[in-house]
Structure 1
């Protein structure tokens, strides 16, 4: 295999997508062009629908699709990943820009705010990619994200129902949307409901039973044909109308500094969701080819795509798993697929802007509702309920937070809940008594092995977390309780392999506990203490209290030393495991 030229390596370091295209092979062209045209059929209606979901004119969805495809084709490391307007970002964008756009809902101001939001989001993601801050996406646990997306899907569906029924409501919040929809049912346009509901059913059915067929394209073509043939516009069905011809110029959005500051929280929320989507989607498709991803480069590329969209009247974008799957199924080999899609959309805007003028608004609502259904993961929610109730509660709380508080506060709640869950596990970790199970080597949890043998006068304990300020008191109270139950205990042996750290608060607690034990003729012993933790203990000045006689390399060594000292023998337990001896986590 030939080594790439130095020039090629330099290009790849800055723009991996462009470097890949420079090494393009002619035999890939047919598949890439076909996949690009298939992708266009999905990008156009979804881009328009998600733009309206974000509270923006439909045309901005097409501008955004073009620029993000070009941006990722140049800077993206993945050969098949597809970017574009996304249903999960639409409500976040709307929640950020619409309060700033004013009561009159000036479209030009909304577009300027959305473009500024894309630029800020892009800057955040580029910085995250270059500095390794992408770990922020890990702040959202999977159960919390499942709940967030379930709540988001519900709010999207409720918000789109009026459009599906042919009327509009002016309300704020989930319950305002519900009340407005119920109140407005008397204004339902039968033709609008018919075309929208049939479109929704057809999308769901085709996606379920004919997944290789472009369901959205089929529904869009049929609905446009029905509108023209049946004169649905004359029957009260709102249609998209002719799109503006041409392409917006390169420009910076005209917004005030005060607006920029108010856009930052929304940009951070969008960046976190987009990063989470991108890493999971990119990893999934890379794994199919036996490759790994470069998270930093992916984030930088998504950031560049957002900047590109923001400079041409677009709004924030993210990776799309469904569109990436469509491109892959259609045979896409490189990012030329995205460039073909961008070129096709550009040609539509330049030469046939009236192509979609008869597209019914209820059909766009059906596209968005179908997308929101794909956001939900009810099987995963049921698994959480069966496997771990604490994480099920966390997931449901995240969903309720989105519904009750709104999308942006719900995003903050989701991140907070994920962080709180990590802290909870460290605060109240799993801890247990160990014993010797006949026929099994080593020492085992007496909760799982209630008939495990105990060593009289010696408590073997395991605490599955680092010792730090939040759980130091819990640790001491747990040991004090066990010793109170069995006052004949002489040694307490801590199986310290899971204890990955000891902070100064915990070190002081250990000093006090060791001194208290010594006064009563007891000893606190550590086995399997990691070298870095041992050095921390030494730096904390505990070596005077916890000296070499309190430290053993293995549990076996500690047990052997105790037996040599006391002559104790293993015996079966006299009673079952009590609540003080074991506590499970969630």
Structure 2
């Protein structure tokens, strides 16, 4: 293939160069369907973000084209997302202080920062962060964001304005707010909801959101309903945006750095969950690092085209897959159609009532809520349930941004807890001579005179002391005399850490005084190199290193035979060594 480096940099382009003609019909149908679903949602999300409806269209066109070239998922559709828009609105609104132009500029700035964070993460191959926020944490986060959006949109549907910023205060003031209901606005919202339900019921193949908004806009235009003080989108400028760099105050920009990092993390994790599920369904793999880069470039492209942050859109991706989309051409077709609307068909958009957009956002947010799955965690994994609930209530009680920050910290603490306090096992042999865990089942028994230990986490400076304590605790519980301790080095010795080496040297000296040999089994070549770098002795008189557990057992047996025949040195132990060993626990 020509230009291999270019193709590697643009995975989507590589697929397009190998495009098969039989895909075209499915891709065109999927592209039309995606555009029909994306249009009303983009306008609604623009309102949620606090910018003009045209910005929602801008946020679809260039990012979708960019992802079609740089993304590795064939089905994923990028675009405005409920969670990303809610995060941006929560950060930017207080900083803008009611200045609509400043608000727009800050939205673009935060979007660009999010893109740069994604590019940095891709450069350092941090695609593994897709697994950083665990499923329970993300579940709690999305449920919390969805509930926050729904409550916020009630003001649009009922025709009043919230004075409070946070959810709990808004709910506590609900009775007084309901007395301010603007009935024509509420009636328009109910008409939108009814239209949506009827289309879903009788014409499920039609884009229900677009039909509902079209009916609402037609009623406003035909009966001049703005005379009843029903708020509408208003004038939407036609044409594509002029490319410009975001203009911002450096002092305010500092306030966006950490929220943009949080947004990049949440957007990427959410996007990867969607991309991986559809990739598995359609039988191909995706590259997490390249997905990080594609998301970063898409967000920068959105910022330069005056749009806001984008992520993987699960609903539009599902529409793509349901209509048989085979390649990234679907994104290109949908982007072109949305661009045509932005160029020539913006006039009807000004009649769309805000209450109709609120209904569309509520419907979209309801799809994010899955309290049943969250509750089911209580039975399957109680710790995961508590983690999800903590994240959920953090978002509800302290706000979206602090809730996301806490979710990221919870993910970090969860990882550290797993690494610092991992599971461990004492190993033995079953009746077939296979090494396995010694447990209550009785399928494996300890090898006479040998203690085999496995620590299920990489050893580093912050868990080395715990490793030593756990090994000695389990060793002391052994009922029979032991003269050899074998450590399975494969799962725990993954890199050179001088603190770990110092701990090993201390452990070796402690055991040597009791006449117990210390053996490391596995990673022999690496271990020998690390011992040399650390200036530690291996082999006779030092820590023994064997290629694997089975060979370690065999060589220990040979050593005992040699010892019995008087051919091996005998190490005498002092009577005070037991006290010394206990003092290290």
The question of a shared fold, defined as TM-score above 0.5 by the shorter chain, is answered with yes
- Which of these residues, 66, 69, 79, is aligned with residue 64 of structure 2? 69
Q: Is 1:465–2:457 an aligned residue pair?
A: yes
**8 Å Cα contact 1:469-1:505 kept in structure 2:** yes
- Which of these residues, 492, 502, 507, is aligned with residue 499 of structure 1? 492
Paired residue secondary structure (2:284): coil
Paired residue secondary structure (2:445): coil
Superposed CA RMSD in Å reads 3.6
Number of the residue aligned with 2:516: 522
The superposition leaves residues 41-87 of structure 1 with CA deviations (integer Å, 9 ceiling, x where unpaired) of: 21221011111222223331122222323333454455443221111
**8 Å Cα contact 1:429-1:464 kept in structure 2:** yes
Q: CA deviation at 1:485?
A: 4.2
**8 Å Cα contact 1:499-1:529 kept in structure 2:** no
Question: Aligned partners of 2:194 and 2:413: how far apart in 1?
Answer: 40
Q: CA deviation at 1:13?
A: 5.0
- Which of these residues, 405, 415, 433, is aligned with residue 422 of structure 1? 415
Number of the residue aligned with 1:536: 530
Q: Is 1:152–2:145 an aligned residue pair?
A: yes
Paired residue secondary structure (1:368): helix
Q: CA deviation at 1:323?
A: 0.9
> More displaced, 208-217 or 50-59?
208-217
Alpha carbons of 1:129 and 1:457: their partners in 2 closer, same or farther (altered >3 Å)?
Answer: closer
**8 Å Cα contact 1:50-1:90 kept in structure 2:** yes
Paired residue secondary structure (1:385): helix
Number of the residue aligned with 1:574: none
Question: Aligned partners of 1:167 and 1:95: how far apart in 2?
Answer: 19
Number of the residue aligned with 1:299: 292
Paired residue secondary structure (2:427): strand
TM, length-normalised to structure 1: 0.83
Paired residue secondary structure (1:53): helix
Q: CA deviation at 1:27?
A: 6.7
The superposition leaves residues 1-50 of structure 1 with CA deviations (integer Å, 9 ceiling, x where unpaired) of: xxx4x36x576455555676677777766554443332222122101111
**8 Å Cα contact 1:500-1:530 kept in structure 2:** no
Q: CA deviation at 1:90?
A: 0.7
Question: Aligned partners of 1:26 and 1:521: how far apart in 2?
Answer: 75
Number of the residue aligned with 1:238: 231
- Which of these residues, 508, 511, 525, is aligned with residue 505 of structure 2? 511
Please list, as runs of the form range in 1=range in 2, the aligned pairs for 1:188-207 lying within 5 A after superposition: 188-196=181-189, 199=192
Paired residue secondary structure (2:491): coil
**8 Å Cα contact 1:56-1:110 kept in structure 2:** yes
Alpha carbons of 1:532 and 1:164: their partners in 2 closer, same or farther (altered >3 Å)?
Answer: farther
Q: Is 1:48–2:43 an aligned residue pair?
A: yes
**8 Å Cα contact 2:11-2:72 kept in structure 1:** yes
Question: Aligned partners of 1:190 and 1:525: how far apart in 2?
Answer: 80
Alpha carbons of 1:492 and 1:229: their partners in 2 closer, same or farther (altered >3 Å)?
Answer: farther
Question: Aligned partners of 2:56 and 2:261: how far apart in 1?
Answer: 21
Number of the residue aligned with 2:213: 220
**8 Å Cα contact 1:493-1:527 kept in structure 2:** no
Q: Is 1:376–2:369 an aligned residue pair?
A: yes
Aligned residues: 559
> More displaced, 509-518 or 455-464?
455-464
Q: CA deviation at 1:550?
A: 4.0
The superposition leaves residues 268-301 of structure 1 with CA deviations (integer Å, 9 ceiling, x where unpaired) of: 2222223223333333334444333344443333
Question: Aligned partners of 2:519 and 2:21: how far apart in 1?
Answer: 70
**8 Å Cα contact 1:174-1:403 kept in structure 2:** yes
Question: Aligned partners of 2:329 and 2:316: how far apart in 1?
Answer: 15
Structure 1 stretches of 5 or more lacking a match?
568-586
Number of the residue aligned with 2:115: 122
Q: CA deviation at 1:534?
A: 4.6
Q: Is 1:557–2:554 an aligned residue pair?
A: yes
Alpha carbons of 1:182 and 1:127: their partners in 2 closer, same or farther (altered >3 Å)?
Answer: same
Question: Aligned partners of 1:88 and 1:43: how far apart in 2?
Answer: 16
Number of the residue aligned with 2:578: none
The superposition leaves residues 321-364 of structure 1 with CA deviations (integer Å, 9 ceiling, x where unpaired) of: 22122133334455444344334334434443232333332222
Question: Aligned partners of 1:236 and 1:16: how far apart in 2?
Answer: 51
> More displaced, 399-408 or 444-453?
444-453
**8 Å Cα contact 2:131-2:269 kept in structure 1:** yes
Q: CA deviation at 1:100?
A: 1.8
Please list, as runs of the form range in 1=range in 2, the aligned pairs for 1:24-423 lying within 5 A after superposition: 31-102=26-97, 105-196=98-189, 199=192, 212-225=205-218, 227=220, 233=226, 237-378=230-371, 380-382=373-375, 384-423=377-416
Paired residue secondary structure (2:461): coil
Question: Aligned partners of 1:53 and 1:503: how far apart in 2?
Answer: 49
Question: Aligned partners of 2:540 and 2:498: how far apart in 1?
Answer: 15
